[in-house]
Amino acid sequence: MKQKFIIGLSVLLLLLAVFLIARDLFRNSPSFITTDCCGEDGALKEFDPSLIGFTKIKVIATGLNNLSGITTNNNGQIFVCGNEQVVAYDTSGNKTAEFATDTMANCIAFKNDIIYIGTGAYITEYNKNGDLIDKWKPFKSDGYLTSLAPGDDFIYAADAMSKRILKYSYNGELEMTFGKKDSLTGAPGFVIPSLYFDVAYGGFNDLWLVNPGWLRLENYSTSGSLRSSWGKASFENSGFTGCCNPVHMALLPDGSFVTYEKGIDKIKLFDQAGQFQCMVAGAGSFRENADFQLGNNNLVKDITTDSRGFIYILDAYNEINIFKKNAI
């Protein structure tokens, strides 16, 4: 019994030492962007500005409140949703369209001139003029859709409440779900501690999703079979930190990834193999020191990309930030 106590105490002391060393490393690096307003919580938001590989080329101040999702189409339009409305802008920031929705929208996607909105457990279809086309039958009435990913033949929805990926035909028929924990097959299921669950469909017939409780991204076949994954728990930029990150993810045309980690407010670029490439932005990149004052409100609400490789970030101030990769 005494030996077990000594071993346990030694482990606790070792963990404490690691924490203190890591804290000091973050706190004492004078070359890092930092602030003196946030104490211990602000330390993890620090980053080396030399790692920034993108330039913010435009900010669109929407003047709206309670936005939650963003997407783009091939015609250069940017769509945002939330607060019972959808609004479209061109890349110059001019409003090009708007219409009301019947309830608060959580997420948005665009495919073949059709706008798809995730509202609670439902996917709702609208045409580009804002006319309601259909409201699909949900997987479960108490579901909560947090992300939509239109593919070639199907549209995929991430249901954070049910912890499933839902595969729908474009006729609104639920074809299948996957992600259920199964003790017989050993499938671990998705670990979704909070209402953050992101899915994306890439140009290489790739279906990617974030399994935030495992701090990793996972690649699935369109039939729901896990093919590969990457990601690890780490305070370094090569991994993800916190209980459940990243909370937002988007794919670029070349197959690389943009990720956002809540709590530390870091937006990163990873290559196709999941290797860290550079920072896109972080706390201080939007409204400078005001970013550090957000408290429990995360800096980023949603992320999307376009065919040119531009990154669009919907921030906590309901502004659209457009980033372009720096020339090498």
Can you give the CATH number for the domain in which 160 is found? 2.120.10.30
| 21: pLDDT strictly greater than 80 | no
Cα 106 to Cα 277: distance, rounded to the nearest angstrom: 30
Question: Residue type for 105, please?
Answer: A
User: 32, 45, 35, 18: which is closest to 261 by C-alpha?
Assistant: 45
Low-confidence winner among 36-40, 186-190, 249-253 (lowest mean pLDDT): 36-40
| 156: pLDDT strictly greater than 90 | yes
The pLDDT-based confidence of 187 (bands split at 50, 70, 90) is low
| 170: pLDDT strictly greater than 90 | yes
> Which residues pair with residue 261 across a beta bridge?
266
Q: Residue 14 belongs to what domain range?
A: 1-30
Query: Does one domain contain both 113 and 12?
Result: no
| 317: pLDDT strictly greater than 80 | yes
Long-range CB contact pairs, 261-264, < 8 A, 24+: 262/196, 262/298, 262/300, 263/44, 263/298, 264/44, 264/45
| 189: pLDDT strictly greater than 90 | no
Query: Does one domain contain both 4 and 68?
Result: no
Query: Does one domain contain both 15 and 100?
Result: no
The confidence score (pLDDT) of residue 185 equals 56
The alpha helices in the chain, defined as continuous H runs, are 2-27, 39-43
Query: Does one domain contain both 25 and 74?
Result: no
Query: Does one domain contain both 26 and 123?
Result: no
Burial 39-54 (b: 16+ CB within 10 A, else e): eeebbbbbbeeebbeb
Angle in degrees, CA 65, 69, 75, rounded to 5 = 110
Burial 79-92 (b: 16+ CB within 10 A, else e): bbbbbebbbbbebe
Query: Does one domain contain both 25 and 147?
Result: no
Query: Does one domain contain both 26 and 94?
Result: no
Query: CA-CA distances (angstroms) from residue 251 to 3, 143, 259, 311?
Result: 51, 25, 9, 10
Low-confidence winner among 55-64, 76-85, 175-184, 316-325 (lowest mean pLDDT): 175-184
Domain count, the chain: 2
Question: Residue type for 153, please?
Answer: D
Highest mean pLDDT pick, 16-20, 26-30, 172-176: 172-176
Query: Judging by beta carbons within 10 Å of its beta carbon (0-12, 13-18, 19+), is residue 2 exposed, middle or buried?
Result: exposed
Query: Does one domain contain both 23 and 100?
Result: no
| pTM listed for this prediction | 0.86
Query: Does one domain contain both 144 and 272?
Result: yes
Query: Does one domain contain both 140 and 255?
Result: yes
Question: Residue type for 250, please?
Answer: A
Query: Does one domain contain both 134 and 108?
Result: yes
Query: Does one domain contain both 18 and 158?
Result: no
Cα 44 to Cα 236: distance, rounded to the nearest angstrom: 10
